[in-house]
Amino acid sequence: MNAPADADVVLVRHRELGTKSGGVQSRMEERLRRNLQGMLERRGITATVERRWSRVYVRDTSDVEAAVDAAADCFGVASASACVSTAPEMDAMVDAAVAVAEDVELSPETSFAVDARRAGDRSQHPFTSKDIEEEAGAAIVESTDADVDLDSPDVRVGVECRAKEAFVYLDSHEGPGGLPLGTQEPVAALVSGGIDSPVAAWQAMKRGSPVEAVYLDLGDYAGVDHVARCRESLEALARYTPDGGIRLHRVPVGDVVSTLMEETANTRMLHYRRFMYRVAEEVAGWRNAEGVVTGESLGQKSSQTAANLRCADSAASMPVHRPLLTWDKQEIVDLAREIGTYRSSKVDAGCVSIAPSQPATAATPEEVRRREPHGLLERAVDCVDDAEVVEITADEIEGEIDA
Ligand code: ATP
Ligand code: MG
């Protein structure tokens, strides 16, 4: 990251919150502020986080660069920049911009551009953003002899002038965007520890919904390290929560799977998935969550054809959300790498061991209901009663995400 050496504040920008009405925006910004404060505390970074002028600012921090990294992991953040703060006056801003340009060693061989924004009462600032760009640009040329290149400069010097303060910065570090975690209702996320489901859960979190993770433990039918991989995925996801924790519900379903092995054939995966949604709904009801999230995508497996998704859905009374419905596998893998869940999920974690050799690809809900073992779906309640609840924390992997 290109941060000014004497940066003293982190400027945190959001995007979509600006489309909300005043009261909603203000509540969401406050949530963003608190989430970021929590994230910094958990990472051992002392700081004060404040909200002003539709922005969030991290001040008095022990580590500006680490604070920028934390902001970039915080849902709702569009971007964050390490800044030098100064008075919102032309001379002060120009001096700060020159100091930053000299510090980054702009020279006659390099090019730069100044991008300025100005907000606030015109009577307070007798200049426009263009005036700032021109004056700061001229002063930087005078001091460094660097070339101005507005299209593809080597270095961009940003200036943001607000009512009572101005900020000068170099890079903007991109955040995940979305909405602050906790601004939407929780959802139950079915997480298998494969590649897809942690990405789907992350997408729901990105839109503001905390997740209650649900893992179906297939007992004798599960792969040897399935649970471990599920836990690792959640450790990676927990990094994105303000308190660094995610609750996992590990639901033992081995007996139900035995029934399915004995009593079903080519429609087995559909019964299993119907049962799986029921389990997730049961957890959702328990935790006041409002829906179920899965990592399914159209046509990825025989159980994920449009017809079969319909069949499976007909067992659920809550909406089943599929953030990855239209994603190609490669797109999912790319995001998994970016968010740090990939390492833990290289092997197919689905239910390969119980899949029939010739699965039905276009069953009808009537047919599946007819072939369903008696009382199968109702067994979800007892299984969830036996669930083991574990708080998964991010601490073990902090700082070692291998993208
Ligand atoms: P993943 O989709 O997590 O990478 P996968 O692709 O091997 O694993 P699928 O068979 O495609 O798994 O399952 C589709 C979805 O069903 C998963 O994305 C996940 O949401 C859910 N799921 C499958 N198995 C389990 C399980 N054992 N526990 C919880 N959820 C599961
Ligand atoms: Mg999958």
- Any idea what the CATH number is for the domain that residue 133 is in? 3.30.2130.30
State whether 242 and 383 are in the same domain. yes
Pocket of ligand 1 (CB under 6 A): 190-192, 194-197, 214-216, 294-296, 300-301, 348-351
Distance between CA atoms of residues 403 and 401, nearest Å: 6
Expressed in angstroms and rounded, the spacing between residue 294 Cα and the centre of ligand 1 is 7
Expressed in angstroms and rounded, the spacing between residue 192 Cα and the centre of ligand 2 is 9
Q: What is the DSSP string of 248-276?
A: EEEEE-HHHHHHHHHH-STTHHHHHHHHH
4, part of any domain = no
Expressed in angstroms and rounded, the spacing between residue 192 Cα and the centre of ligand 1 is 5
Task: Say whether 324 sits in a helix, a strand or coil.
Answer: coil
132, part of any domain = yes
Ligand 1 pocket mutation pick from 190, 220, 224, 298 by most atoms within 8 angstroms of CB = 190
Expressed in angstroms and rounded, the spacing between residue 294 Cα and the centre of ligand 2 is 9
Q: What is the DSSP string of 202-245?
A: HHHHHTT--EEEEEEE-GGGS-TTHHHHHHHHHHHHHTTSTTSE
- Any idea what the CATH number is for the domain that residue 191 is in? 3.40.50.620
Q: Among 142, 174, 206, which residue terminates a domain?
A: 174
State whether 381 and 260 are in the same domain. yes
For the chain, which ranges sit under pLDDT 50? Answer: 345-346, 349, 396-403
State whether 76 and 223 are in the same domain. no
Distance between CA atoms of residues 192 and 373, nearest Å: 24
Q: How many residues does the chain have?
A: 403
Expressed in angstroms and rounded, the spacing between residue 39 Cα and the centre of ligand 2 is 30
Whole-number pLDDT of residue 361 = 81
Ligand 1: nearest atom to the Cα of 352: 10
The residue contributing the CA closest to ligand 1 atom 2 is 196
Ligand 1: nearest atom to the Cα of 218: 27
Ligand 1 pocket mutation pick from 187, 190, 191, 192 by most atoms within 8 angstroms of CB = 192
Query: Token pair for residue 85?
Result: 């703060």
Ligand 1: nearest atom to the Cα of 216: 28
State whether 27 and 156 are in the same domain. yes
Whole-number pLDDT of residue 350 = 53
Whole-number pLDDT of residue 395 = 62
Whole-number pLDDT of residue 352 = 62
402, part of any domain = no
Expressed in angstroms and rounded, the spacing between residue 322 Cα and the centre of ligand 2 is 11
Contacts of residue 27, defined as CB under 8 A and 6 or more positions apart, other chains included, come to 183
Whole-number pLDDT of residue 301 = 86
Please tell me the total count of domains within the chain.
2
Residue 95, Cβ neighbours under 10 Å: how many?
17
Distance between CA atoms of residues 43 and 243, nearest Å: 10
194, part of any domain = yes
State whether 139 and 273 are in the same domain. no
Task: Say whether 378 sits in a helix, a strand or coil.
Answer: coil
Whole-number pLDDT of residue 148 = 95
**Structural domain harbouring 203:** 187-397
Expressed in angstroms and rounded, the spacing between residue 340 Cα and the centre of ligand 2 is 17
179, part of any domain = no
State whether 219 and 85 are in the same domain. no
The residue contributing the CA closest to ligand 1 atom 18 is 295
Strand partners, 10: 58, 82
